[in-house]
Amino acid sequence: MAKISSEEIILRYNDSVIRQSDLVTLNGPKWLNDRIIEFYFSYLSSFYPSEHILLVPPAITYWIMNCPDTNSLKDFLKPLNLPSKKLIIFPVNNNDDMSRADGGNHWSLLAYEKTDNLFVHHDSLGDMNKSHAKCLYNTLVPYIGASYPIPSYFEYECGPLQDNGYDCGLYVLATTKVICDWFDSYLKEIGHLWFSLVWEQVNTSTVSGLRKDILEVIKSMKG
């Protein structure tokens, strides 16, 4: 039987591509790479097809943070149509070396909620990615479609924390799913944000189970 190459493509889903090597990160205990996060964002988008929700892939988020030219960034953001969205979620990576696509060692999440005109940063290691999230926030403010008042920034410091050095990406994915669930919930209708749901539903147990869940989804899609 021929040996499967680590770079062999095993699944194409929308704009995401999963290679054999990506599955290794789901078998744990390992740090999730950007391809798994992009895939799961795309997968969630199929369950929450609202035109008002945008889950931004890691590569696009990283370019927004590091684009050196304002005019180029403006053109780059046009297809995303950010001002039309009511909920936008960005995965934040702390890679400071643009020459390394696989750089960085931590994921966190920055969410924008239009009704409250608020950016919220969720970090499962406290404030490890705070400076990177603030950088992304400052970059996005001119393009989010809320010229006055300027969107607020909130560091959510009471969220669930990981108890190891590799589950940060899973916390991002689990929190993203909870926030998307919140978007259609009664809590949103009565003006409450998603914090209580994140606290109730994102924990070591659910995060651990998410590895298996994503792996099963990929296997079912590849046939």
Active site residue ranges: 106, 123, 168
Q: Answer for the pair 109, 125: CB distance below 8 angstroms, yes or no.
A: no
Distance CA 108, CA 104 (A): 11
Quote the CA–CA distance of 91 and 103 in Å, as a whole number: 14
Q: Burial letters for 92-117: b for 16+ Cβ neighbours within 10 Å, e otherwise? A: bbbbeeeeeeeebebbbbbbbbbeee
Extended strands (E) in the chain = 9-13, 16-19, 53-55, 87-93, 107-113, 118-122, 152-156
CA 184 to chain CA centroid, nearest Å: 19
Nearest CA to 8 among 24, 32, 28, 26?
Answer: 24
